[in-house]
C-alpha cells in the first residue's frame, strides 16, 4: 500500500502535474471549417483544467486519417493556430496537455476521404462498425489494403503531426494505438491478414506502431511521447487471438523505446472491464515509466488501484463531460452531474461548455 492518492502531484517526464487525474480523450465532433478546433474548444478544455493532465480529443494526422465528421486535425497551419488557443488557455490554468494523434484506418467513410477514395487498412476487410458522417451514423465503407510502399508515408505523417503539435504548444503527444483504429488494426489478427513484414507474427503486427513511435520520439523526444493501447477491447470490430503475448511483447518494446507513458484501456472501451481474460498487471510490470489506467474508474476504484501501485495516473472520460470541475467534486465527495447524450456529438456550445460547476449550481439554487 502507498500513501499516494488522486490529489497528490506527480512527475511525468520533465513535467510536474498538479494531481494524478487525467482527462481522457473525448471525441465531440465540433471542429469548424478546415477541421480547425471549435471556437469553443479553448473554453471547453480550460474548464476541465483541474486535471493534472489533459489529453485532447482524437486528432487526425491527415485527411486520410479522418473517420468521423467535424473532428479536428493537426496537419495544416490553420489547425495548428486553432490548437494554440487551446494550449494557451489550458496552460493559463496551470495544467498540462497532450494531443492524441490518430489515423482511423478502415473506420471511415468514402464521403470523408479525398475524392471519395476508399479508406485504407492493413487488409481489405470491412470494419463491423458505424461512423458519424453526414450528420448521422452510417456503416463504415469497404477499405483497401495499404501497399507496403505506402507505410513509410503513414509514419512520416505521424512524425509531422507530432512536430506540428509541439508548434501548437502541446506538452506532448499520445499515439492512438487503441480502439480498433489503424495501428490497432495492424496489431489485431482479425483485421490484419497480411503475409508481408507487417502481418503474421506478433513481431510483424507490432512493427508499424513501433516504427511510428520511434519516428515520433526522434522528432520530439521520448519524454513527450505517450501511447494508448486497448489489448482486449472489441471496439470497432477488432479482436486478437493472442492478446497477452501480443501486448507483453509490444509493451517490452515500448519500454525499450522509453515512451513517457502507456495509457491502457482496461477491458472493453466504454464497457465491461472484464470483457475477456487478460493480465494487465503483467504489462505494468514490463513498463518502467508511467502507467495511466482507463475505463470505468470511479473514486473508490481509482483510490484502491493507486494504493496497490497498479497505476500511476487515472483517466476519467465521460464523467468530465457533465462535470467540468470533476476534480473538485471527487475531492469533496460531491454528487456528479449527468450529461445529455443528445449533445455528445456535433452541435455548438450547448452540451459542450454550458455544464455548470458545483459553485455555479449552488449559486443558482440559492
CA distance 175 to 311: 19
The number of angstroms, rounded, from the C-alpha of 350 to the middle of its chain's C-alpha atoms is 24
Burial class (CB in 10 A: 0-12, 13-18, 19+), 65: buried
Beta bridge partners of 313: 292
- Catalytic annotation, pick one of 10, 75, 181, 345: 181
Question: β-strands 290-294, 96-102: how paired?
Answer: unpaired
Rounded to 5 degrees, what are φ and ψ at 126? Answer: -70, 140
- Catalytic (active site) residue 261: no
Angle made by CA atoms 105, 269, 255, in degrees to the nearest 5: 75
Say if residues 65 and 22 touch (Cβ distance below 8 Å): no
- CB atoms inside a 10 Å sphere around CB 308: 11
CA distance 140 to 161: 25
Q: What is the CA radius of gyration of the chain?
A: 19
How distant, in Å, are the alpha carbons of 28, 328, 333 from that of 357? 20, 9, 14
Enumerate the active-site residues. 181
Amino acid at each position: 500500500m502507498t500513501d499516494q492518492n488522486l490529489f497528490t502531484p506527480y512527475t511525468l517526464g520533465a513535467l510536474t502535474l498538479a494531481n494524478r487525474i487525467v482527462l481522457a480523450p473525448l471525441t465531440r465532433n465540433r471542429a469548424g471549417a478546415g477541421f480547425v478546433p471549435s471556437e469553443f474548444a479553448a473554453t471547453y478544455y480550460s474548464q476541465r483544467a483541474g486535471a493534472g493532465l489533459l489529453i485532447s480529443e482524437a486528432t487526425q494526422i491527415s485527411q486520410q486519417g479522418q473517420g468521423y465528421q467535424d473532428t479536428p486535425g493537426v496537419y495544416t497551419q490553420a489547425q495548428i493556430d486553432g490548437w494554440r488557443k487551446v494550449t494557451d488557455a489550458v496552460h493559463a490554468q496551470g495544467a498540462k496537455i497532450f494531443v492524441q494523434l490518430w489515423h482511423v484506418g478502415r473506420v471511415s467513410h468514402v464521403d470523408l476521404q479525398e475524392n471519395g477514395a476508399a479508406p485504407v487498412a492493413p487488409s481489405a476487410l470491412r470494419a463491423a462498425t458505424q461512423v458519424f458522417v453526414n450528420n448521422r451514423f452510417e456503416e463504415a465503407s469497404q477499405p483497401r489494403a495499404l501497399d507496403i510502399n505506402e507505410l513509410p508515408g503513414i509514419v512520416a505523417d505521424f512524425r509531422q503531426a507530432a512536430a506540428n503539435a509541439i508548434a501548437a504548444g502541446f506538452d506532448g503527444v499520445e499515439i492512438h494505438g487503441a480502439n480498433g483504429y489503424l495501428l490497432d488494426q495492424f496489431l489485431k489478427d482479425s483485421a490484419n491478414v497480411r503475409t508481408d513484414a507487417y502481418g503474421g507474427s506478433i513481431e510483424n503486427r507490432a512493427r508499424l506502431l513501433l516504427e511510428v513511435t520511434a519516428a515520433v520520439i526522434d522528432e520530439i523526444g521520448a519524454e513527450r511521447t505517450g501511447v494508448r493501447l486497448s489489448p482486449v477491447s472489441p471496439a470497432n470490430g477488432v479482436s486478437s487471438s493472442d492478446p497477452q503475448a501480443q501486448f507483453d511483447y509490444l509493451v517490452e518494446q515500448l519500454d525499450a523505446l522509453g515512451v513517457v507513458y502507456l495509457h491502457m484501456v482496461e477491458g472493453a472501451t466504454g464497457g465491461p472491464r472484464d470483457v475477456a481474460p487478460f493480465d494487465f498487471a503483467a504489462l505494468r510490470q514490463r513498463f518502467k515509466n508511467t502507467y495511466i489506467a482507463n475505463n470505468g474508474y470511479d473514486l473508490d476504484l481509482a483510490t484502491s488501484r493507486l494504493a496497490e501501485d497498479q497505476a500511476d495516473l487515472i483517466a476519467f472520460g465521460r464523467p468530465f463531460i457533465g462535470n467540468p470541475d470533476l476534480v473538485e467534486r471527487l475531492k469533496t465527495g460531491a454528487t456528479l452531474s449527468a450529461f445529455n447524450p443528445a449533445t455528445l456529438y456535433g452541435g455548438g456550445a450547448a452540451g459542450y461548455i454550458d455544464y455548470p460547476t458545483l459553485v455555479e449550481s449552488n449559486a443558482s439554487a440559492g
